[in-house]
Chain A
């Protein structure tokens, strides 16, 4: 479903050039949940931004559902196919748009006609009642905002969801709710997840395989069984595992 080979992403030119991602290679199968793990600054979110065309400069090969991507431009089928949930629910909703406007505009951009019924259905799907339909972001809690952001990502009925630390800005009890919601949605809609996180328990809960990143490079790809048995082959991933248990 997602096939990435030799992906380099960099910012700036000449002396100012910063290589955010170097020679990243991994593949995600359809229906799979794949985790990208690493410290902050290791380039995991940058990979998502390169896929969605939000990163300025990259080279290598990104193939999504058989379609090879070029540069920053993405076509309609890509936007229909791939959606993203952002890290900070306080920054990812337009402060002057009500929930209804956010979802309604998204639906109309995807060419749906029956917007009213779909907005109600989306709110239902993410566990928000119609009560919240005409609220503005400042009238919602962090967890409710993230539910709206998930509803927006689901509006175009995508096959792939890119999750950029979707729970790191939320407190622990709300984190569990959102993670369960994401699991339920994945099972109902047969979605493929590519999830970025620095939280190993979260990745262990959600994903089947994961890649460990350090300083822009993928040091190891392992499956969750290895993670649970604490058997990493690379010393850096082993130290990450040990650190997360020690907490």
Chain B
């Protein structure tokens, strides 16, 4: 009997001995079911790679990301010293891509922390409390939904000042309404169920019911939606950057790199294509992982039996 097999048996027992044991066991079973999903593991692998790339950017980048070399501009793919070529100012595209992963992660993390949480709060409160709270909160949501997203973000950035932080804030402020709508719809179906009646009969208040009983059931569909929105969020940040209101040059933000490369797209296609491929890969990874996570988090499937 090796150590590993006893650990495995301990984790896979169907009669856990303590609360901590039960939590570890269900976590391990969730991990096993995620691991069984090949596409989700591909997505997770790409994202872990992105994380490591951002973490070790100074060691991985072959050149300084802001060093210009005008004599060496617009070099094609595979040219000596510049595997992915150089851009219009002769900067190494690979190095900029590696440093840009930090900005991408920063945007994605901040938006993923702000927008779904705000949407969840508004949606579940509106759905559970009902009445006037529902009417007021949902009309505010409608107003936000009625604005063109980029225009509203532009207005926010104009008010708050240009920069990547404000762009993230503006995107979050325009991204929460769909989450609120979803959370409200789910809450309405959950609210009338017997298990909510049952916990109310135990004397639980609305705050406990919303946070402990309704949120856990809304989160799995929100996670899927967030991962599906990630591509759009990265692109919205890029769009703001293109308009001069998001990432400021010489920042190696991927979207800004695309808009810089746009001018040369016919003669020097790689300048715009390489960061485009990076955005594509990361978005795809988020989608794959999101789909896999949904399968693990959905209680109705029951995980592995």
Contacts and interface: CB of A to CB of B under 8 A. Distances in A.
13 contacts: A54-B197, A79-B203, A80-B203, A83-B201, A84-B197, A86-B194, A87-B194, A92-B195, A95-B195, A110-B203, A134-B19, A134-B25, A152-B202
Contacts of B299: 95-96, 136, 138
Interface string B176-195: 00000000000000000111
Given A131-B14, A131-B15, A156-B202, 5 more contacts: A84-B197, A84-B201, A138-B300, A139-B302, A152-B202
B101 to A, nearest CB: 34
A65 to B, nearest CB: 16
B198 A79 contact: no
Interface of A: 52, 54, 76, 79-80, 82-84, 86-88, 91-98, 100, 105-106, 109-110, 130-131, 133-136, 138-139, 149, 152, 155-156
Contacts of A82: 201
A82 B198 CA distance: 12
Contact of B199 (A105, A135, A139): A105
B22 interface: yes
Nearest to A134: B22
Q: Which 5 A-B residue pairs are closest in the complex by CB-CB distance?
A: A134-B22, A92-B194, A79-B203, A95-B299, A138-B302
A79 B201 contact: yes
Nearest to A158: B201
A18 B290 CA distance: 46
B16 interface: yes
Interface in B185-238: 193-195, 197-204, 212-213, 216-217
A83 B203 CA distance: 11
A52 B15 CA distance: 35
A109 B201 contact: no
